[in-house]
Structure 1
Amino acid sequence: MKLYDIISRMEREMEELRKAIGLSMMRRRPACDIIDEDDKIILFVDLPGFSKNDIDVEIGENYVKIKAEEKKEEKRRYLVKERMRSFYRYIELPASIKENEAKAKFRNGVLEITLPKKEGKKGKKIKIE
């Protein structure tokens, strides 16, 4: 079984758990692109329908947590089918980052998070006898 298959199965099971306790965040997940450059990692997350104030981002040395919850109250609602009202995502990063230098922007429904990488320890070459 491949890692992707295991993660997909876990996500399906977590969604079932959320439904069972009334926390369903809909089945669709927003698109998330992760770009790993030499000196930084950039995340682009599509969050249409949310405002900047609806989104919380938490970062650690090697992870990002993104939570979005629509906070506006609508008086009349007839049918809401394709609209996402809440979202949670935990992303494990491929490298350690400089948390104090991270930046986030939200424009046109897209959250962009720029995470500068920490200088990694470089490996040492050894001579083969």
Structure 2
Amino acid sequence: MFDLMPFDRKTRNLTNYFDNFEKAFFSDFPSMFSEMRTDILDKGDHFLLQADLPGFTKEDIHISLNGDTLTVSAEHNDEKEEKDNSFIRRERRYGSFARSYDVSGIDTQDISAAYNNGVLELRLPKANPQTSQQRQIDIQ
């Protein structure tokens, strides 16, 4: 019998009001704080890190290495773009993104990067495993 009720009557309960409030309140939350989405592939002798950075130029992207931490950051500068614009609605966000990765076990001297069609690719060669040298220790 309840299946024959109109849809609006079915949705009039207290839990649906709270669900709808949460959806309305946090609807722009993921887009406001979007993250740099990455894939990391194991290619045998190296890892391939692919990061989506659409809308950036090569000059906007910075890659730094501090010890065993690799940081990729990108920043849009919108000072010159807003002077004569009167927006009715603005969904294209400007700002900065940054993400850090642990690169222990990576040959940091041979890391290379390329940026094509909004995708940053980092080639991270694996470091040669340290061979443990076995030796006999004499007891005195």
Q: TM-score, normalised by structure 1?
A: 0.65
Q: Is the 8 A contact 1:61 1:96 kept in 2?
A: no
Matched, 1:97 2:103: no
**Gaps in structure 2 of 5+ consecutive residues:** 1-30, 134-140
Question: 1:59, 1:36 → 2: CA distance?
Answer: 21
> Which one-letter code corresponds to 2:102 in the other structure?
E
Which of 107, 114, 120 matches 2:123?
Answer: 114
Partner amino acid, structure 2, of 1:29? E
Is the alpha carbon distance of 1:113 and 1:119 closer, same or farther for their aligned partners in structure 2, counting shifts above 3 Å?
same
In structure 2, distance between residues paired with 1:77 and 1:38? 52
Higher Cα radius of gyration: 2
Corresponding position: 1:85 with 2:91:
no
Quote the RMSD (CA, aligned, Å).
Answer: 2.4
CA displacement at 1:118 relative to structure 2: 1.0
Structure 1 Cα separation of the partners of residues 116 and 98 of structure 2? 19
- In 1, Cα distance between the equivalents of 2:125 and 2:67? 11
AA at the equivalent of 1:35: L
Indicate whether 1:48 and 2:63 are aligned: no
Q: How many residues align?
A: 99
C-alpha contact 2:106 2:125 (8 A) present in aligned 1: yes
Assess if the C-alpha contact under 8 Å between 1:26 and 1:84 holds in 2. Answer: no
- Contact 2:36–2:98 (8 Å) recurs in 1: no
Q: Percent identity?
A: 32
Which ranges in structure 1 are unaligned for 5 or more consecutive residues?
1-24, 125-129
Q: TM-score w.r.t. structure 2 length?
A: 0.60
Match of 1:100, SS state, is helix
Q: Which amino acid aligns with 1:89?
A: R
